[in-house]
Structure 1
Amino acid sequence: MYSISFEPESLLPRERLLEEGAEKLSNQELLAILLRTGTKGNSVFSLANRLLSSLESLSELKQLTVQELQTLSGVGKVKAIEIKAMIELGKRINQSEYRNMEQILSSEKLAKRLMQDLADKKQEHLIAIYLDTQNQIIKQETIFIGTVMKSIAEPREILHYAIKYMATSVIIVHNHPSGKPRPSRNDDQFTEAIKKASDLLGLVLLDHLIIGGNQYYSYREETDLL
Protein backbone atom coordinates (compact mmCIF):
# COMPACT_ATOMS: atom_id res chain seq x y z
CA MET A 1 0.00 0.00 0.00
CA TYR A 2 1.47 3.34 -1.09
CA SER A 3 1.42 6.30 1.25
CA ILE A 4 -0.87 9.13 0.24
CA SER A 5 1.99 11.57 0.79
CA PHE A 6 3.35 11.06 -2.74
CA GLU A 7 2.14 10.10 -6.20
CA PRO A 8 3.06 6.48 -6.93
CA GLU A 9 1.78 6.88 -10.49
CA SER A 10 4.62 9.23 -11.36
CA LEU A 11 7.29 7.26 -9.49
CA LEU A 12 6.53 3.64 -10.24
CA PRO A 13 7.29 3.71 -13.99
CA ARG A 14 10.71 5.22 -13.32
CA GLU A 15 11.44 2.59 -10.70
CA ARG A 16 10.29 -0.20 -13.00
CA LEU A 17 12.46 1.16 -15.81
CA LEU A 18 15.52 1.09 -13.56
CA GLU A 19 14.79 -2.37 -12.19
CA GLU A 20 13.32 -4.16 -15.21
CA GLY A 21 14.36 -2.14 -18.26
CA ALA A 22 12.44 0.21 -20.54
CA GLU A 23 11.21 -2.63 -22.76
CA LYS A 24 9.08 -3.95 -19.86
CA LEU A 25 7.04 -0.75 -19.58
CA SER A 26 3.70 -0.21 -21.30
CA ASN A 27 3.15 2.63 -23.75
CA GLN A 28 1.16 4.41 -21.06
CA GLU A 29 4.01 4.13 -18.55
CA LEU A 30 6.63 5.34 -21.02
CA LEU A 31 4.51 8.33 -21.98
CA ALA A 32 3.77 9.06 -18.30
CA ILE A 33 7.52 9.27 -17.62
CA LEU A 34 7.90 11.74 -20.47
CA LEU A 35 4.94 13.86 -19.36
CA ARG A 36 6.23 13.79 -15.74
CA THR A 37 3.17 15.38 -14.10
CA GLY A 38 -0.57 15.41 -14.50
CA THR A 39 -3.02 18.25 -14.04
CA LYS A 40 -5.49 19.20 -11.36
CA GLY A 41 -7.96 16.34 -11.16
CA ASN A 42 -6.05 14.19 -13.67
CA SER A 43 -3.06 12.00 -12.81
CA VAL A 44 -0.18 11.68 -15.24
CA PHE A 45 -1.42 8.14 -15.97
CA SER A 46 -4.86 9.46 -16.85
CA LEU A 47 -3.31 12.09 -19.10
CA ALA A 48 -1.11 9.53 -20.86
CA ASN A 49 -4.04 7.16 -21.31
CA ARG A 50 -6.23 9.94 -22.71
CA LEU A 51 -3.58 10.89 -25.23
CA LEU A 52 -3.05 7.29 -26.37
CA SER A 53 -6.79 6.60 -26.51
CA SER A 54 -7.20 9.44 -28.97
CA LEU A 55 -5.01 7.59 -31.48
CA GLU A 56 -5.97 4.67 -33.67
CA SER A 57 -2.39 3.38 -33.47
CA LEU A 58 0.80 4.41 -31.69
CA SER A 59 2.38 5.37 -35.01
CA GLU A 60 -0.11 8.23 -35.34
CA LEU A 61 1.64 10.00 -32.47
CA LYS A 62 4.50 11.01 -34.76
CA GLN A 63 2.06 12.67 -37.14
CA LEU A 64 0.63 15.10 -34.58
CA THR A 65 1.99 18.64 -34.71
CA VAL A 66 2.92 20.65 -31.64
CA GLN A 67 -0.32 22.57 -32.05
CA GLU A 68 -2.40 19.39 -32.30
CA LEU A 69 -0.75 17.94 -29.19
CA GLN A 70 -1.65 21.09 -27.28
CA THR A 71 -5.34 20.55 -28.02
CA LEU A 72 -5.21 17.54 -25.68
CA SER A 73 -6.18 18.43 -22.15
CA GLY A 74 -3.13 18.71 -19.92
CA VAL A 75 -0.58 18.92 -22.72
CA GLY A 76 0.87 22.40 -22.80
CA LYS A 77 3.38 23.90 -25.17
CA VAL A 78 6.44 22.61 -23.27
CA LYS A 79 5.16 19.04 -23.04
CA ALA A 80 4.13 19.10 -26.69
CA ILE A 81 7.61 20.24 -27.71
CA GLU A 82 9.22 17.51 -25.57
CA ILE A 83 7.04 14.82 -27.15
CA LYS A 84 7.94 16.00 -30.66
CA ALA A 85 11.64 16.09 -29.73
CA MET A 86 11.42 12.53 -28.37
CA ILE A 87 9.76 11.29 -31.57
CA GLU A 88 12.31 12.99 -33.80
CA LEU A 89 15.22 11.58 -31.78
CA GLY A 90 13.74 8.08 -32.04
CA LYS A 91 13.38 8.54 -35.79
CA ARG A 92 17.01 9.58 -36.15
CA ILE A 93 18.18 6.63 -34.03
CA ASN A 94 16.29 4.27 -36.34
CA GLN A 95 17.71 5.93 -39.43
CA SER A 96 21.22 5.65 -38.01
CA GLU A 97 20.69 1.97 -37.23
CA TYR A 98 19.51 1.25 -40.75
CA ARG A 99 22.50 3.06 -42.25
CA ASN A 100 24.85 1.01 -40.10
CA MET A 101 23.16 -2.20 -41.17
CA GLU A 102 23.40 -1.16 -44.79
CA GLN A 103 27.18 -0.88 -44.47
CA ILE A 104 27.46 -4.50 -43.35
CA LEU A 105 24.89 -5.90 -45.74
CA SER A 106 26.67 -9.12 -46.72
CA SER A 107 25.58 -12.56 -45.60
CA GLU A 108 28.54 -13.00 -43.28
CA LYS A 109 28.48 -9.56 -41.68
CA LEU A 110 24.72 -9.42 -41.35
CA ALA A 111 24.72 -12.88 -39.75
CA LYS A 112 27.41 -11.87 -37.27
CA ARG A 113 25.42 -8.79 -36.35
CA LEU A 114 22.25 -10.79 -35.75
CA MET A 115 24.12 -13.41 -33.72
CA GLN A 116 24.26 -10.86 -30.92
CA ASP A 117 20.46 -10.87 -30.74
CA LEU A 118 19.62 -14.46 -31.63
CA ALA A 119 22.46 -16.74 -30.52
CA ASP A 120 21.15 -17.20 -26.96
CA LYS A 121 17.43 -17.30 -27.69
CA LYS A 122 15.65 -20.39 -26.37
CA GLN A 123 12.86 -20.13 -28.94
CA GLU A 124 13.06 -19.81 -32.68
CA HIS A 125 12.65 -16.26 -33.97
CA LEU A 126 11.81 -15.47 -37.58
CA ILE A 127 12.93 -12.04 -38.77
CA ALA A 128 12.36 -10.38 -42.14
CA ILE A 129 14.52 -7.49 -43.33
CA TYR A 130 12.95 -5.38 -46.07
CA LEU A 131 15.04 -3.37 -48.52
CA ASP A 132 14.50 -0.81 -51.29
CA THR A 133 15.97 -0.64 -54.79
CA GLN A 134 19.27 0.68 -53.41
CA ASN A 135 19.50 -2.18 -50.90
CA GLN A 136 18.85 0.27 -48.10
CA ILE A 137 16.98 -1.24 -45.18
CA ILE A 138 13.42 0.01 -44.92
CA LYS A 139 12.32 -2.05 -41.94
CA GLN A 140 13.20 -5.08 -39.86
CA GLU A 141 10.26 -7.08 -38.53
CA THR A 142 10.08 -10.00 -36.13
CA ILE A 143 7.39 -12.06 -37.82
CA PHE A 144 6.89 -14.53 -35.01
CA ILE A 145 8.50 -16.30 -32.08
CA GLY A 146 8.03 -20.03 -31.66
CA THR A 147 8.77 -23.08 -33.76
CA VAL A 148 9.49 -22.56 -37.43
CA MET A 149 6.96 -24.81 -39.12
CA LYS A 150 5.39 -24.39 -42.51
CA SER A 151 1.94 -24.14 -40.96
CA ILE A 152 3.08 -21.21 -38.80
CA ALA A 153 5.55 -19.35 -41.02
CA GLU A 154 3.29 -18.76 -43.98
CA PRO A 155 4.74 -16.67 -46.84
CA ARG A 156 1.78 -14.28 -46.65
CA GLU A 157 2.88 -13.13 -43.19
CA ILE A 158 6.24 -12.06 -44.58
CA LEU A 159 4.99 -10.71 -47.89
CA HIS A 160 2.29 -8.67 -46.16
CA TYR A 161 4.99 -6.35 -44.79
CA ALA A 162 6.88 -6.34 -48.08
CA ILE A 163 3.82 -4.86 -49.75
CA LYS A 164 3.16 -2.51 -46.84
CA TYR A 165 6.69 -1.07 -46.96
CA MET A 166 6.91 -1.16 -50.78
CA ALA A 167 10.06 -3.25 -50.51
CA THR A 168 11.83 -4.62 -53.58
CA SER A 169 13.83 -7.31 -51.79
CA VAL A 170 13.85 -9.20 -48.52
CA ILE A 171 16.22 -11.21 -46.34
CA ILE A 172 14.81 -13.89 -44.06
CA VAL A 173 16.63 -14.79 -40.84
CA HIS A 174 15.81 -17.35 -38.19
CA ASN A 175 17.73 -19.05 -35.41
CA HIS A 176 18.18 -22.64 -34.27
CA PRO A 177 18.24 -22.77 -30.44
CA SER A 178 20.17 -26.07 -30.72
CA GLY A 179 23.18 -24.04 -31.83
CA LYS A 180 23.47 -25.96 -35.11
CA PRO A 181 22.68 -23.85 -38.18
CA ARG A 182 22.39 -26.74 -40.66
CA PRO A 183 18.94 -26.42 -42.31
CA SER A 184 16.22 -29.02 -41.87
CA ARG A 185 13.94 -30.29 -44.61
CA ASN A 186 11.26 -27.93 -43.25
CA ASP A 187 13.72 -25.04 -43.67
CA ASP A 188 14.33 -26.04 -47.29
CA GLN A 189 10.61 -26.28 -48.02
CA PHE A 190 9.97 -22.95 -46.33
CA THR A 191 12.71 -21.27 -48.38
CA GLU A 192 11.33 -22.73 -51.61
CA ALA A 193 7.82 -21.50 -50.72
CA ILE A 194 9.03 -17.99 -49.88
CA LYS A 195 11.11 -17.86 -53.08
CA LYS A 196 8.13 -18.90 -55.24
CA ALA A 197 5.77 -16.42 -53.55
CA SER A 198 8.35 -13.62 -53.79
CA ASP A 199 8.87 -14.26 -57.49
CA LEU A 200 5.13 -13.94 -58.11
CA LEU A 201 5.17 -10.49 -56.50
CA GLY A 202 8.33 -9.35 -58.25
CA LEU A 203 10.15 -9.36 -54.90
CA VAL A 204 13.76 -10.57 -54.69
CA LEU A 205 14.58 -13.01 -51.90
CA LEU A 206 18.20 -12.04 -51.32
CA ASP A 207 18.98 -14.67 -48.70
CA HIS A 208 17.70 -16.90 -45.94
CA LEU A 209 20.10 -16.98 -43.02
CA ILE A 210 20.02 -19.49 -40.18
CA ILE A 211 21.78 -18.51 -36.97
CA GLY A 212 23.01 -21.30 -34.70
CA GLY A 213 25.11 -20.18 -31.74
CA ASN A 214 28.10 -18.37 -33.23
CA GLN A 215 27.68 -19.96 -36.64
CA TYR A 216 25.42 -19.25 -39.57
CA TYR A 217 24.14 -20.88 -42.73
CA SER A 218 23.38 -18.88 -45.88
CA TYR A 219 21.11 -20.33 -48.55
CA ARG A 220 22.61 -17.96 -51.11
CA GLU A 221 26.15 -19.06 -50.28
CA GLU A 222 25.47 -22.78 -49.81
CA THR A 223 22.69 -23.68 -52.26
CA ASP A 224 21.28 -22.85 -55.66
CA LEU A 225 17.75 -22.33 -54.35
CA LEU A 226 18.23 -18.55 -54.55
Structure 2
Amino acid sequence: MFLDVSSNRYQTLIRTYFNDEPNLAEQIFKLAPTAAEFRQLSTREITYLKNLSTERMGRFLDAVQIGEFIVKSPHDLYGHAYSSTLVGQALLEEYAGDQQESVAILCTDVHNEIIAKQRLFIGGQSQCSLFPDQIFRYAIKNCATGVIVVNNHPSGSIEPSDNDLQMCRRIDQAGNTIGIHLLDFLIVGSESYYSWREDTLDL
Protein backbone atom coordinates (compact mmCIF):
# COMPACT_ATOMS: atom_id res chain seq x y z
CA MET A 1 0.00 0.00 0.00
CA PHE A 2 2.83 2.42 0.85
CA LEU A 3 4.41 1.94 -2.56
CA ASP A 4 1.08 2.50 -4.32
CA VAL A 5 0.42 5.74 -2.44
CA SER A 6 3.97 6.94 -3.06
CA SER A 7 3.74 6.19 -6.80
CA ASN A 8 0.38 7.95 -7.10
CA ARG A 9 1.75 11.03 -5.35
CA TYR A 10 4.81 11.06 -7.63
CA GLN A 11 2.71 10.83 -10.79
CA THR A 12 0.22 13.42 -9.56
CA LEU A 13 3.00 15.94 -8.87
CA ILE A 14 4.57 15.46 -12.28
CA ARG A 15 1.23 15.63 -14.12
CA THR A 16 0.43 18.84 -12.23
CA TYR A 17 3.80 20.38 -13.15
CA PHE A 18 3.36 19.46 -16.83
CA ASN A 19 -0.36 20.24 -16.92
CA ASP A 20 -0.02 22.22 -20.19
CA GLU A 21 2.27 19.63 -21.78
CA PRO A 22 0.93 16.21 -20.67
CA ASN A 23 3.00 14.44 -23.32
CA LEU A 24 6.16 15.38 -21.37
CA ALA A 25 4.80 13.75 -18.24
CA GLU A 26 4.08 10.59 -20.22
CA GLN A 27 7.64 10.59 -21.59
CA ILE A 28 8.91 10.59 -18.00
CA PHE A 29 6.53 7.81 -16.95
CA LYS A 30 7.66 5.63 -19.85
CA LEU A 31 11.17 5.71 -18.42
CA ALA A 32 10.32 5.94 -14.73
CA PRO A 33 6.76 5.16 -13.60
CA THR A 34 7.76 5.53 -9.92
CA ALA A 35 10.00 7.89 -7.95
CA ALA A 36 12.32 5.00 -7.07
CA GLU A 37 12.78 4.22 -10.78
CA PHE A 38 13.39 7.90 -11.54
CA ARG A 39 16.32 7.83 -9.08
CA GLN A 40 17.78 4.94 -11.09
CA LEU A 41 17.62 6.66 -14.50
CA SER A 42 20.84 6.28 -16.44
CA THR A 43 22.83 9.19 -17.85
CA ARG A 44 21.61 8.21 -21.32
CA GLU A 45 17.97 8.37 -20.22
CA ILE A 46 18.43 11.76 -18.54
CA THR A 47 20.10 13.02 -21.73
CA TYR A 48 17.12 11.76 -23.71
CA LEU A 49 14.76 13.81 -21.54
CA LYS A 50 16.99 16.87 -21.84
CA ASN A 51 17.00 16.51 -25.62
CA LEU A 52 13.23 16.92 -25.72
CA SER A 53 14.33 20.57 -25.75
CA THR A 54 11.53 22.24 -23.88
CA GLU A 55 12.03 25.01 -21.36
CA ARG A 56 9.74 23.34 -18.85
CA MET A 57 11.55 20.01 -19.03
CA GLY A 58 14.86 21.83 -18.54
CA ARG A 59 13.55 23.59 -15.43
CA PHE A 60 12.16 20.32 -14.12
CA LEU A 61 15.48 18.47 -14.47
CA ASP A 62 17.37 21.42 -12.95
CA ALA A 63 15.02 21.34 -9.96
CA VAL A 64 15.57 17.59 -9.57
CA GLN A 65 19.33 18.10 -9.61
CA ILE A 66 19.11 20.85 -6.98
CA GLY A 67 16.90 18.61 -4.84
CA GLU A 68 19.42 15.76 -5.05
CA PHE A 69 22.22 18.13 -4.04
CA ILE A 70 20.25 19.36 -1.01
CA VAL A 71 19.31 15.84 0.12
CA LYS A 72 22.91 14.62 -0.14
CA SER A 73 24.39 17.59 1.71
CA PRO A 74 25.75 16.91 5.22
CA HIS A 75 22.90 16.08 7.58
CA ASP A 76 22.57 17.75 10.98
CA LEU A 77 21.50 14.44 12.53
CA TYR A 78 25.05 13.19 12.23
CA GLY A 79 25.90 15.13 15.33
CA HIS A 80 24.54 12.30 17.46
CA ALA A 81 24.32 8.52 17.23
CA TYR A 82 21.77 7.99 19.95
CA SER A 83 19.79 5.39 17.98
CA SER A 84 20.07 3.25 14.88
CA THR A 85 16.75 4.67 13.72
CA LEU A 86 18.07 8.24 13.75
CA VAL A 87 21.23 7.37 11.82
CA GLY A 88 19.49 4.90 9.48
CA GLN A 89 16.82 7.38 8.40
CA ALA A 90 19.41 10.09 7.77
CA LEU A 91 21.53 7.73 5.67
CA LEU A 92 18.54 6.74 3.53
CA GLU A 93 18.44 10.33 2.27
CA GLU A 94 22.20 10.58 1.72
CA TYR A 95 22.50 7.37 -0.29
CA ALA A 96 19.35 7.85 -2.38
CA GLY A 97 20.15 7.23 -6.03
CA ASP A 98 23.73 6.01 -5.50
CA GLN A 99 24.79 3.56 -8.21
CA GLN A 100 27.92 2.23 -6.50
CA GLU A 101 28.05 0.08 -3.40
CA SER A 102 30.24 1.57 -0.69
CA VAL A 103 31.13 1.22 2.98
CA ALA A 104 31.32 4.24 5.27
CA ILE A 105 32.59 4.46 8.83
CA LEU A 106 31.11 6.74 11.47
CA CYS A 107 33.31 7.23 14.53
CA THR A 108 31.86 8.19 17.91
CA ASP A 109 33.25 9.46 21.19
CA VAL A 110 32.28 8.35 24.72
CA HIS A 111 29.10 10.47 24.50
CA ASN A 112 28.02 8.85 21.20
CA GLU A 113 28.72 12.09 19.38
CA ILE A 114 29.80 11.39 15.79
CA ILE A 115 33.27 12.88 15.50
CA ALA A 116 34.30 11.60 12.07
CA LYS A 117 32.69 10.08 8.98
CA GLN A 118 34.22 8.82 5.78
CA ARG A 119 33.58 6.38 2.94
CA LEU A 120 36.51 4.01 3.16
CA PHE A 121 35.58 1.49 0.48
CA ILE A 122 33.83 1.94 -2.89
CA GLY A 123 32.89 -1.00 -5.09
CA GLY A 124 30.65 -1.71 -8.05
CA GLN A 125 26.88 -1.98 -8.30
CA SER A 126 26.61 -5.18 -6.24
CA GLN A 127 29.86 -5.76 -4.33
CA CYS A 128 32.30 -3.89 -2.15
CA SER A 129 35.29 -5.33 -0.30
CA LEU A 130 35.67 -4.56 3.39
CA PHE A 131 38.89 -4.64 5.44
CA PRO A 132 38.53 -4.50 9.25
CA ASP A 133 42.13 -3.36 9.78
CA GLN A 134 41.45 -0.18 7.78
CA ILE A 135 38.27 0.44 9.76
CA PHE A 136 40.13 0.37 13.08
CA ARG A 137 43.09 2.31 11.71
CA TYR A 138 40.66 5.11 10.81
CA ALA A 139 38.90 4.80 14.19
CA ILE A 140 42.18 4.94 16.15
CA LYS A 141 43.36 7.92 14.08
CA ASN A 142 40.21 9.77 15.16
CA CYS A 143 40.42 8.67 18.82
CA ALA A 144 37.07 6.90 18.53
CA THR A 145 35.51 4.76 21.25
CA GLY A 146 32.84 3.37 18.91
CA VAL A 147 32.17 2.83 15.22
CA ILE A 148 29.11 2.40 13.03
CA VAL A 149 29.75 0.58 9.76
CA VAL A 150 27.41 1.54 6.91
CA ASN A 151 27.04 -0.47 3.71
CA ASN A 152 24.72 0.88 1.04
CA HIS A 153 23.02 -1.53 -1.38
CA PRO A 154 22.11 0.17 -4.68
CA SER A 155 19.92 -2.84 -5.52
CA GLY A 156 17.57 -1.78 -2.73
CA SER A 157 17.80 -5.11 -0.89
CA ILE A 158 18.69 -4.84 2.81
CA GLU A 159 18.94 -8.57 3.52
CA PRO A 160 22.37 -9.25 5.05
CA SER A 161 24.37 -12.05 3.45
CA ASP A 162 26.21 -14.71 5.45
CA ASN A 163 29.41 -12.82 4.64
CA ASP A 164 27.89 -9.61 6.04
CA LEU A 165 27.00 -11.32 9.32
CA GLN A 166 30.39 -12.99 9.60
CA MET A 167 32.06 -9.63 9.02
CA CYS A 168 29.91 -8.06 11.75
CA ARG A 169 31.03 -10.67 14.23
CA ARG A 170 34.69 -10.24 13.23
CA ILE A 171 34.55 -6.47 13.62
CA ASP A 172 32.65 -6.79 16.90
CA GLN A 173 35.16 -9.23 18.37
CA ALA A 174 38.16 -7.24 17.16
CA GLY A 175 36.69 -4.02 18.50
CA ASN A 176 36.04 -5.50 21.93
CA THR A 177 39.66 -6.63 22.05
CA ILE A 178 41.09 -3.15 21.41
CA GLY A 179 38.38 -1.17 23.20
CA ILE A 180 36.57 0.30 20.17
CA HIS A 181 33.01 -1.00 20.14
CA LEU A 182 30.96 -1.79 17.07
CA LEU A 183 27.81 0.19 17.82
CA ASP A 184 26.01 -1.03 14.71
CA PHE A 185 26.32 -2.36 11.18
CA LEU A 186 23.75 -0.77 8.88
CA ILE A 187 22.73 -1.86 5.39
CA VAL A 188 21.01 1.01 3.60
CA GLY A 189 18.64 0.23 0.72
CA SER A 190 16.46 2.49 -1.40
CA GLU A 191 13.55 2.79 1.05
CA SER A 192 14.60 1.07 4.27
CA TYR A 193 17.62 -0.05 6.24
CA TYR A 194 18.82 -3.08 8.19
CA SER A 195 20.35 -2.69 11.66
CA TRP A 196 22.52 -5.55 12.90
CA ARG A 197 22.22 -4.25 16.47
CA GLU A 198 18.41 -4.05 16.33
CA ASP A 199 18.24 -7.49 14.74
CA THR A 200 20.48 -8.92 17.47
CA LEU A 201 18.31 -7.41 20.20
CA ASP A 202 15.22 -9.00 18.64
CA LEU A 203 16.72 -12.52 18.87
Deviations 1:149-185 (A, max 9, x none): 5xx3110010001110110001111111110111011
Choose from 80, 105, 108 the match for 1:131. 108
Displaced runs of 4 or more, over 4 A: none
Structure 1 residues 205 and 104 mapped into 2: Cα distance closer, same or farther (>3 Å)? closer
Gaps of 5+ in 1: 1-20, 22-96
- Aligned partners of 1:99 and 1:136 also within 8 Å: no
Secondary structure of 2:105's counterpart equals: strand
Q: 2-side partners of 1:160 and 1:199: how far apart?
A: 15
Residue 102 in structure 1 maps to residue 79 in structure 2: yes
- Cross-structure match for 1:6: none
Structure 1 residues 119 and 100 mapped into 2: Cα distance closer, same or farther (>3 Å)? closer
Deviations 1:162-209 (A, max 9, x none): 110110001111111110111011111111111111111111111001
Structure 1 residues 109 and 162 mapped into 2: Cα distance closer, same or farther (>3 Å)? same
TM-score (norm 2): 0.58
Choose from 152, 167, 175 the match for 1:190. 167
Residue 221 in structure 1 maps to residue 201 in structure 2: no
- Aligned partners of 1:169 and 1:205 also within 8 Å: yes
Amino acid in structure 2 at the alignment position of 1:167: A
Secondary structure of 1:223's counterpart equals: helix
Secondary structure of 2:156's counterpart equals: coil
Choose 1 or 2 for highest CA Rg.
1
Choose from 142, 149, 159 the match for 2:136. 159
- Aligned partners of 2:108 and 2:146 also within 8 Å: yes
Structure 1 residues 129 and 181 mapped into 2: Cα distance closer, same or farther (>3 Å)? same
Written as runs of structure 1 = structure 2, the 5 A alignment for 1:65-76 is none
Choose from 116, 121, 140 the match for 1:144. 121
Q: 2-side partners of 1:130 and 1:107: how far apart?
A: 14
Q: 1-side partners of 2:89 and 2:157: how far apart?
A: 15
Choose from 151, 162, 173 the match for 2:150. 173
Q: 1-side partners of 2:169 and 2:80: how far apart?
A: 28
Structure 1 residues 99 and 179 mapped into 2: Cα distance closer, same or farther (>3 Å)? closer
Gaps of 5+ in 2: 1-64, 66-73
- Aligned partners of 2:77 and 2:90 also within 8 Å: no
Secondary structure of 1:127's counterpart equals: strand
TM-score (norm 1): 0.52
